[in-house]
Amino acid sequence: MEGYEVIFAGSNFIRLLSGLWVTVRISLISIGFSLIFGFIVGIAMTGRSPLIKALCRVYLEIVRMIPQLVWLFIMYFGVTRMTGLNLSGEAASVIVFTIWGAAETADLVRSAFQSVPVHQFESGRALGLSQFQLYFFVILPQAVKNLFPNIINLATRMIKTTALISLIGVTEVLKVGKQVIDANRYDAPDAALWVYGAIFLMYFAVCFPLSLLSRRLTERKE
Amino acid sequence: MSGNIIEIRHLRKAFGDHVIFSDLSLTVKKGETVVIIGPSGCGKSTLLRCLNGLEPIQGGTIYLNGKPLEYGRKSLVKIRQKIGMVFQNYDLFPNMTVLQNILLSPVKVQKRNRREAKEEAEQLLEKVGLREKADAYPDALSGGQKQRTAIVRSLIMHPDILLLDEITAALDPEMVHEVLDVVMELSRNGTAMLIVTHEMAFAEAAADRVIFLDGGRILEEGEPQAFFHSPQTERARRFLSAFTYSES
Ligand SMILES: Nc1ncnc2c1ncn2[C@@H]1O[C@H](COP(=O)(O)OP(=O)(O)OP(=O)(O)O)[C@@H](O)[C@H]1O
Ligand SMILES: [Mg+2]
pLDDT in the model for residue A215: 84
The side-by-side arrangement of strands in the sheet containing B18-29 is B18-29, B4-15, B59-64, B67-68
- From B46, B54, B55, B214, mutation site for ligand 1 pocket: most ligand atoms within 8 A of C-beta: B46
Closest CA to B195 of B73, B24, B38, B68: B38
Give the whole-angstrom CA distance, residue B99 versus residue B134.
5
pLDDT of residue B70: 84
Residue B214 forms beta bridges with which residues?
A: B217
Chain A residues closer than 8 Å to B93 by CB? 120, 123-124, 137-138, 142
Residue range A191-210: average pLDDT? 91
* Radius of gyration for the alpha carbons in chain B, expressed in angstroms and rounded: 18
Nearest one of A146, A121, A149, A122 to A135, comparing CA atoms: A121
Question: Residue A142: CB partners within 8 Å, gap ≥ 6?
Answer: A116, A120, B93, B94, B95
Beta pairing class for B4-15 and B18-29: antiparallel
Average pLDDT for A170-196 = 88
Q: Are strands B209-214 and B67-68 parallel, antiparallel or unpaired?
A: unpaired
Q: How confident is the model at residue A5, as a pLDDT?
A: 84
* pLDDT value of position B61: 92
Reported as a single tens digit per residue, the pLDDT across B175-215 is 898 899 999 999 998 899 999 999 999 999 999 999 999 98
Ligand 1 atom closest to residue B55's alpha carbon, by position in its atom list: 1
Q: Taking residues B23-38, what's their average pLDDT?
A: 94
Count CB-CB contacts under 10 A for residue B111: 8
Buried b or exposed e, range A101-114, using 16+ CB within 10 angstroms:
bbbbbbbbbbbbbe
Domains of chain A: 3-221 (1.10.3720.10)
Question: Is the CB of residue B194 less than 8 Å from the CB of residue B86?
Answer: no
Ligand nearest, relative to CA of residue B213: 1
| Average model confidence (pLDDT) across chain B | 91
Q: Residue B196: its pLDDT value, please? A: 96
Q: How sure is the predictor about A200, in pLDDT bands with cuts at 50, 70 and 90?
A: very high
Q: How far apart are CA B248 and CA B239, in angstroms?
A: 16
Q: Which residues line ligand 1 (CB under 6 A)?
A: B 15, 18, 20, 40-46
Q: Is the Cβ pair A126, B73 closer than 8 Å?
A: no
The least confident of A3-12, B142-151, B172-181 is A3-12
The pLDDT, as a whole number, for residue B69 is 86
Give me the pLDDT at residue B33, please.
94
| A141 has a chain B CB within 8 A of its CB | yes
| Confidence (pLDDT) at A221 | 54
The secondary structure of residue B196, as a DSSP letter, is E
Which of residues A189 and B205 earns the better pLDDT score?
B205
For A58, other C-beta atoms within 10 Å of its C-beta total 10
pLDDT of B246: 67
What is the domain partition of chain B in residue ranges? 4-241
**Whole-number mean pLDDT of chain A?**
89
In SS3 terms, A14-73 reads as: HHHHHHHHHHHHHHHHHHHHHHHHHHHHHHHHCCCCHHHHHHHHHHHHHHHHCCHHHHHH
- Distance (Å, rounded) from C-alpha A144 to C-alpha A221? 11
pLDDT reading at A222 higher than 70: no
Interhelix angle A12-45/A89-114, rounded to 10 degrees, is 40
Q: Which residue has the higher pLDDT, B88 or B74?
A: B88
Class of domain B4-241: alpha beta
pLDDT in tens, A26-73: 999 999 999 999 999 998 888 778 899 899 999 999 999 999 999 999
Nearest to A218 by CA among A149, A156, A152, A154: A149
Ligand nearest to the Cα of B36, by number: 1
| Chain A residues within 8 A of B92 when measuring between CB atoms | 123
Mean predicted confidence (pLDDT) in B159-173? 91
* Cα–Cα distance, B83 to B48 (Å, whole number): 10
pLDDT band at B90 (very low <50, low <70, confident <90, very high): confident
Q: How many angstroms is it from A191 CA to the middle of ligand 2?
A: 72
- Which tens digits make up the pLDDT trace of A66-111? 999 999 999 998 887 788 878 888 999 999 999 999 999 999 999 9
Exposed/middle/buried for A49, CB within 10 Å: 0-12, 13-18, 19+? exposed
